[in-house]
Chains A and B, each alone.
Chain A
Amino acid sequence: MVSHREGASPSPTIYSRGIVMPAEEKKEVKGKTISRRQFFKEAGAISAAVAAAAASSVIAPEEAEARTTFAEFFQNNYRLMTDEEKKEAIARLEQRYSEEFAKKVTVDGSPAMQDVLFGYALNIQKCIGCRRCVHACVKENNQSRHDTEIQWIRVIRMEKGNFTVDDMDKGYPNSPNESFGIQVGGNAYKNAGVALEGQHYYQPERVPEKDAFYFPIQCMQCEKPPCVKVCPVRTTYRDPDGIVVIDYNWCIGCRMCMGACPYWARRFNWGDPNLPAEEMNPKTHYLGNRPRMRGVVEKCTFCLQRTRKGRYPACVEVCPVGARKFGNLLDPESEVRKILDRKKVFRLKADMNTYPKFFYFID
């Protein structure tokens, strides 16, 4: 605001280039004299600020998110929080999710149960490739539904081979004594039993298909998880019950864990997850199926919001052929231990020494 003493004549203004310009025209507002330039400058700034504030309130109606963003941004790593801080963080999230999804959302913070080490076994002979497990998992764990659809379980279709134990001693054709034995990928007559690569996007009319078997892959909850070793901010860690968890609020989205995982079992939220309110599962766990945000990594947690309450994971419950088994590896009477005792069991990439607790078996 510029005011001039009464009676003083306006003097010419000398600008930096040395050109003498005529003095600015003055206007009297509420007893104060201001220049037209000054008036436009202030009016412009005020109207820009008002317009910006109005526009931002129209564009960003996520009041609940805005209220908690600040506190969430400054919260500590979940593992290092005190019980009080954990309660506060959970209460904040419950309030935010309840407002965002317009339903009562609970966020559980249950720690691992005593004397429990979870293990999983999958009967590869029984799996029919229906992918009900995939969809049950998506529904239970609040994964992004479309645009950037995220699935924690992938069922890979593999070609069934016809190599049998009877072919073991047979070698290449036209060899003098046919004694070359088994080669990599079978022998010259038949392949070793499976194609080298699987297909994920198979769309058959019916499953199971003839000449195919199915190989579901998900997080193996390794006993010695390489993803945990590489995390630069220690946001992913192994809980005492053997489940490898992620504190989504602490994740910086560097994707180091994804590169380290030999099973490529982790998923990255490239965009904002697309989770319709009516499809959202309101029973969540802080380290499990609570809604994630853009730029963080997620993966299977053996449905810890269920299993820590004594329930089966969603994929186990939904499997129509009972191919999936789940239990406590420390309990000799559990299903998974009985399978280890009695069935032919193998692990995927056992040579990596990650000690996966996800076992494949055949009868």
Chain B
Amino acid sequence: MAEDKESEVKREGVDFSKRAFIKTALIGGIAVASGAVIAKKIVSNIPNTGLTKASVSDELQQDMVMKDKEFVVMSKEEKDRMVQMFESEYKYTA
């Protein structure tokens, strides 16, 4: 009986026992995780020359802000109304 069971788990030269399965799964898991860590490190350490270009491009957009500028001096009423709005908004939200 026991021999039959043993022969069943070792069919075709492959070990189907629980122990062998856990062992293979464990080794496989470690290998996959380690591979992922290495891949991530390699990818993140590749120098990307486009980064500076992208940053500069972002900053240059701010120069364009001045294209749509409008320098309108605020009137006394406008300033008072704005301060009043700030005060009432603060009371409302605080």
Contacts and interface: CB of A to CB of B under 8 A. Distances in A.
Interface of A: 1-3, 5, 13, 24, 35, 42, 45-46, 48-49, 52-53, 55-56, 59-60, 114-115, 117, 147-151, 154, 156, 158, 194, 196-200, 215, 217, 223, 240, 258, 262-265, 267-268, 270-272, 329-330, 337, 340-341, 344-351, 355, 357, 360
8 contacts: A115-B90, A149-B55, A197-B63, A217-B65, A240-B90, A265-B62, A270-B54, A340-B79
Contacts of A351: 70
Nearest to A224: B89
Given A154-B62, A199-B63, A264-B61, 16 more contacts: A2-B14, A5-B3, A48-B31, A52-B34, A56-B37, A60-B37, A147-B52, A151-B59, A156-B66, A197-B66, A223-B89, A270-B51, A270-B54, A329-B86, A350-B74, A357-B86
A133 B60 CA distance: 19
A52 B31 contact: yes
A215 to B, nearest CB: 7
A114 B90 CA distance: 10
Contact of B65 (A2, A48, A347, A349): A349
B72 A46 contact: no
Interface string B1-29: 00100110010111100001000000110
For the complex, would chain B's binding face be called helix, strand, loop or mixed by DSSP majority?
helix
Contacts of A148: 51-52, 55
Contact of B38 (A1, A24, A59): A59
Contact residues on B (Cβ < 8 Å of other chain), bracket:
35 or more
